[in-house]
Structure 1
């Protein structure tokens, strides 16, 4: 089977929806759509046991400790282990207690190494998406052939472990290469699975259509944002790193996006979580305060990502004439009256 292993980078689109955003027509007139993604990645990160030169230190509590060091660092590994020993069950309990839907993004090597929590996650009714085989930086020395092989292996393994031949509907690789989207789109096509959406974009507050690397039906992007991710706790100097400050940032972001929805331009807010980070007690407590806050506000749709994708595609189906990267140009409307007409 012939495979295209070349780069597929999203065409750079600097205008987006322009002055007047498209109306996503969220269910029941909601002013904002909120969704949460939790990573199931512990055990799939870099480690000496897996043949890597060093222990993973990205998003650990002491990342500076490992800079420039090679070899095994047991202290850093312990921090990831916390994610599955304590963080996963704490998040499962929290979202069950609050009755809030959750999307779990799975890395299949983590599922193989730590299968204990897979059934509870499936039984929770969560959406299952796929990140690939390993949670590593795919721009760092991974060949196109190796990445393609890992993607296809992870797709088979996810279905084998879960027993569900209909998943995944969506992908979120996070630390992807410039060819990742093409490779998993091709793998899904070869397996006869529809790719409902990709989450590998940070470029908007709303879903948007772009070209597909495999067919002419388009690819729906459900963007996410690092600014409201719990990664901020462990990226020193890059945002709120206390639970109270994180809660305030989430609340302020929600309030601003909600007000834009009240003004006629509903948005989407995606919160990316890591069990080894937000699974810590105080952080989980303040995340729960945020959940309680958004549940107290009228006109909020809290949904899984596949639900958001299906809704958006039904309201705004793919049109190659208007998809991003095709015809970016200003339009005259009541918000932008046109050149010289302010």
Structure 2
């Protein structure tokens, strides 16, 4: 239990001045979760089909069999949604971090190649898109290594960031022990990066977001239309922009190929990027660049 001590104080009333490049008020981190092909399936030896984050909200998994409807909804993300997101980001020249599931990349190497060619940061997101809470530590360690090697082989560069999502108690320590990661994002507790102790040394956390996140289209009482998400993203950015006059902040935006990549939802991403461009004062960047900036500007206390 000592590996994840709860900290309900954080930076308190006086967070550090982020000193983002160019005097930006808000560092905006767009994150695309690439998971399609790594979800649960009896074809992979899982006991049931995937029942999480697809369009039939609340439908139970098929135990001992395939759910062809769910499978095709995930396939949409890889076949069509990814390319719609790619086109939208290219139109804006917006950088991106990908949370990439290793097996998902291996099943669509063309998408992996395009990520590398676009200069996107590709961070690790597990070998499979599954819950790691009950995975044995040795198996999780091996899958972190396997995911990292796959990203390096297919995208041309090893990952320096990590996000499992459904972590085990050991995940952060295993990531820190691996030695090649600058940061992890398995945390939602702040508007700025911060340090924790992991594997006996300071470890950087670049927090993520589940509120400014398109997954709310696929939960009860979440987003229904593109306007719902766009309004929430704009409100979040504007509040952080106002606070950033004195204390610059960070904003994470979570995206999924099979969700925001639908034609009726992509306008939320396009509209948000247009709003940020008009408003100014933003540093749209990758999580790696945020991590490197924080490590250089606010190094851990010795």
Q: TM-score, normalised by structure 1?
A: 0.84
In structure 2, distance between residues paired with 1:314 and 1:186: 21
Which residue of structure 1 lines up, in the alignment, with residue 225 of structure 2? 242
1:209-220 matches, cutoff 5 A: 209-213=195-199, 215-216=200-201, 218-220=202-204
Give the deviation of 1:8 after TM superposition. 6.7
SS in 1 for 2:59: helix
1:30 partnered with 2:13: no
In structure 1, distance between residues paired with 2:113 and 2:46: 29
Which residue of structure 2 lines up, in the alignment, with residue 169 of structure 1? 160
Deviation string 1:201-242 (CA, Å, 9 cap, x unpaired) is 1110101111131x53x11110011001111000112x3232
Aligned partner of 2:9 among 3, 9, 15: 15
Q: TM-score, normalised by structure 2?
A: 0.95
In structure 2, distance between residues paired with 1:295 and 1:137: 37
Give the deviation of 1:118 after TM superposition. 1.1
Q: 1:8 touches 1:182 (CA, 8 Å); kept in 2?
A: no
Which residue of structure 1 lines up, in the alignment, with residue 288 of structure 2? 306
Distance 1:20 1:132, change over 3 A: same
Q: 2:42 touches 2:64 (CA, 8 Å); kept in 1?
A: no
1:224 partnered with 2:218: no
Question: Which stretch of the first structure deviates more once superposed, 119-128 or 143-152?
Answer: 143-152
Give the deviation of 1:265 after TM superposition. 1.4
1:294 partnered with 2:276: yes
Distance 1:117 1:68, change over 3 A: closer
Deviation string 1:156-211 (CA, Å, 9 cap, x unpaired) is 232233343xx211111112111111112222x2xxx3x21111111101011111
CA RMSD in angstroms comes to 1.6
Aligned partner of 2:78 among 81, 84, 102: 84
Which residue of structure 2 lines up, in the alignment, with residue 233 of structure 1? 217
Give the deviation of 1:153 after TM superposition. 2.0
1:180 partnered with 2:171: yes
Which residue of structure 2 lines up, in the alignment, with residue 200 of structure 1? 186
Distance 1:236 1:70, change over 3 A: farther
Which residue of structure 1 lines up, in the alignment, with residue 112 of structure 2? 118
Give the deviation of 1:149 after TM superposition. 2.0
Q: Structure 1: state its 5+ residue gaps.
A: 1-6, 321-342
1:26-65 matches, cutoff 5 A: 26-65=20-59
In structure 1, distance between residues paired with 2:283 and 2:105: 30
Give the deviation of 1:68 after TM superposition. 7.4
Give the deviation of 1:307 after TM superposition. 0.9
SS in 2 for 1:94: helix
Q: 1:79 touches 1:276 (CA, 8 Å); kept in 2?
A: yes
Give the deviation of 1:145 after TM superposition. 2.5
Give the deviation of 1:313 after TM superposition. 1.4
Aligned partner of 1:254 among 231, 237, 250: 237
Question: Which stretch of the first structure deviates more once superposed, 247-256 or 68-77?
Answer: 68-77
Q: 1:8 touches 1:180 (CA, 8 Å); kept in 2?
A: no
Distance 1:8 1:243, change over 3 A: farther
